[in-house]
């Protein structure tokens, strides 16, 4: 098949959606399909050597990213021309996200051309704390979901919350299935923890945070927790985190790391803490699990159900509750931490290999009947 993937930004980019798009595009290509990916080239990547699929940029301005709103402002004529040409080439279209101008256009053009189109909604509605902005987002989401509900072949989501948000708008008009993202279990794996800790200079119990500097990631909650505890350090990795200022000595910022470097940090830490909200299923949770690292997550940071639920520890969304959950993992000692990590690794290897996600998406894009998420 000729498969077109449409996202707000082209990979490589710092966002989790772009990482997912890249992995799926590689997986589709490995199955023998011809693959094109389109979106705004926000990273202005001069070349994509070694990428086995065709990357097609669409000109756009990107001023809203400074406000943590990842919606490019596409050049209208170029967007229609490029998207139209790609849809005519494609046998099936896989779009990522409902609220982007290029994905909405791709859904419409694909439906008009009779091309199967699958929509993956990664995060759904994300509260910003501003009533006006949240109301506008909700209205835009309802409009986009209703419109896509009349055109898409199927919807895929990462958790029950997003399934409920999509289903509340489209009803039973189209299948809504849960497909978890994958993880590279060969790259992210346990290793020599003592050597990794020595290499990174970790001398005290260390909680790891991985995520870009954005309100929904909840880093402020973790910083409040560590300031009240005094029993552990926090290491922060992710895009723009180097902007953090006036941090206590218990907090260390490593900034944005590539995948190889990040894998080494997972091996050195004692646990991952995921205090975010409004997520689908954060890739960093799966990476930590595959690395044999215990995970503590606040309610709303991970799906309520799924294989991970047996191994991820949940914490209340306040500093004292989060600190207590971290303390509980540390109190189990090295042997207990290793048992938790080994169980997490087993779940990741069994359930979250990328080949599982690729196979399930290909069943939708073919298309074939899919199991509806209850």
pLDDT per residue of the chain (374 residues) written in tens, 0 to 9: 999 999 999 998 867 789 899 999 999 999 999 999 999 998 776 666 678 999 999 999 999 877 777 889 999 999 999 999 999 999 999 999 999 999 999 999 999 999 999 999 998 887 666 788 788 888 999 999 999 999 999 999 988 888 999 999 998 888 899 998 889 999 999 999 999 999 999 999 999 999 988 888 999 999 999 999 999 999 999 989 999 999 999 999 999 999 999 999 999 999 999 999 867 688 899 999 999 999 999 988 888 888 999 999 999 999 999 999 999 999 999 999 999 999 999 999 988 989 889 999 999 998 554 444 44
208: helix, coil or strand?
strand
Integer-rounded Cα radius of gyration of the chain: 21
Rounded-to-integer distance, Cα 275 and Cα 319, Å: 10
Domain 2-182+354-365, architecture per CATH: 3-Layer(aba) Sandwich (3.40)
CB-CB contact of 265 with 207 (8 Å): no
Rounded-to-integer distance, Cα 276 and Cα 138, Å: 20
Looking at residue 368, what is its pLDDT?
A: 53
CB-CB contact of 223 with 326 (8 Å): no
Burial annotation 225-257 (CB, 10 A radius, 16+ → b, else e): bbeebeebbbbbbbbebeeeeeeeebbebbeee
| Measured CA distances, 218 to 13, 105, 161, 253, 319 (Å) | 21, 32, 18, 15, 11
Where do the CATH 3.40.50.2000 domains begin and end in the chain? Answer: 2-182+354-365, 193-351
Residue in this structure with the two tokens 């215990």, named with its chain if needed: 294
| CA nearest to 324, candidates 250, 273, 268 | 273
CB-CB contact of 235 with 257 (8 Å): no
Rounded-to-integer distance, Cα 29 and Cα 34, Å: 6
Global pTM value: 0.76
Looking at residue 48, what is its pLDDT?
A: 64
| CA nearest to 124, candidates 156, 161, 150, 172 | 161
For the domain spanning 193-351, the CATH number is: 3.40.50.2000
Handedness of CA 299, 205, 330, 231 (dihedral sign): negative
Rounded-to-integer distance, Cα 41 and Cα 70, Å: 12
């Amino acid at each position: 098949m000729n498969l077109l993937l449409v996202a707000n930004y082209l990979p490589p980019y710092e966002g989790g959606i772009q990482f997912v798009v890249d992995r799926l595009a590689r997986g589709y290509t490995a199955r023998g399909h011809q693959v094109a990916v389109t979106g705004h080239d926000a990273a202005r990547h001069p070349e994509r050597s070694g990428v086995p699929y065709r990357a097609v940029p669409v000109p756009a301005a990107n001023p809203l990213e400074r406000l943590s709103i990842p919606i490019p402002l596409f050049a209208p004529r170029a967007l229609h021309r490029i998207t139209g040409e790609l849809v005519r080439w494609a046998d099936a279209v896989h779009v990522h996200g409902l609220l982007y101008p290029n994905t909405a256009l791709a859904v419409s053009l694909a439906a008009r051309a009779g091309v199967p189109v699958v929509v993956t909604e990664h995060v759904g509605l994300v509260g910003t704390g501003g009533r006006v902005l949240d109301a506008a987002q909700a209205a835009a989401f309802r409009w986009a979901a209703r419109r896509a509900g009349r055109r898409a072949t199927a919807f895929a989501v990462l958790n029950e919350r997003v399934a409920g948000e999509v289903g509340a708008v489209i009803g039973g008009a189209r299948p809504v299935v849960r497909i978890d993202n994958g993880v590279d279990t060969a790259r992210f794996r346990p290793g020599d923890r003592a050597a990794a800790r020595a290499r990174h200079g970790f001398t005290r119990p260390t909680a790891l945070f991985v995520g870009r500097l954005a309100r929904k990631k909840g880093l402020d909650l973790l910083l409040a927790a560590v300031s009240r505890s005094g029993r552990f350090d926090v290491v922060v990795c992710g895009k723009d985190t180097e902007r953090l200022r006036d941090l206590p000595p218990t907090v260390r910022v490593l900034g944005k790391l590539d995948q190889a470097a990040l894998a080494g940090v997972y091996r050195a830490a004692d646990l991952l803490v995921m205090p975010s909200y409004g997520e689908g299923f954060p890739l960093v949770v799966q990476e930590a699990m595959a690395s044999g690292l215990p995970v503590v997550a606040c309610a709303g940071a991970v799906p309520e159900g799924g294989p991970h639920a047996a191994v991820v520890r949940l914490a209340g969304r306040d500093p004292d509750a989060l600190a207590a959950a971290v303390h509980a993992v540390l109190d189990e000692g090295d042997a207990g931490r290793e048992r938790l990590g080994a169980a997490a690794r087993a779940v990741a290897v069994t359930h979250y290999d990328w080949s599982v996600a690729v196979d399930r998406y290909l069943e939708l894009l073919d298309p074939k009947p899919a199991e509806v998420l209850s």
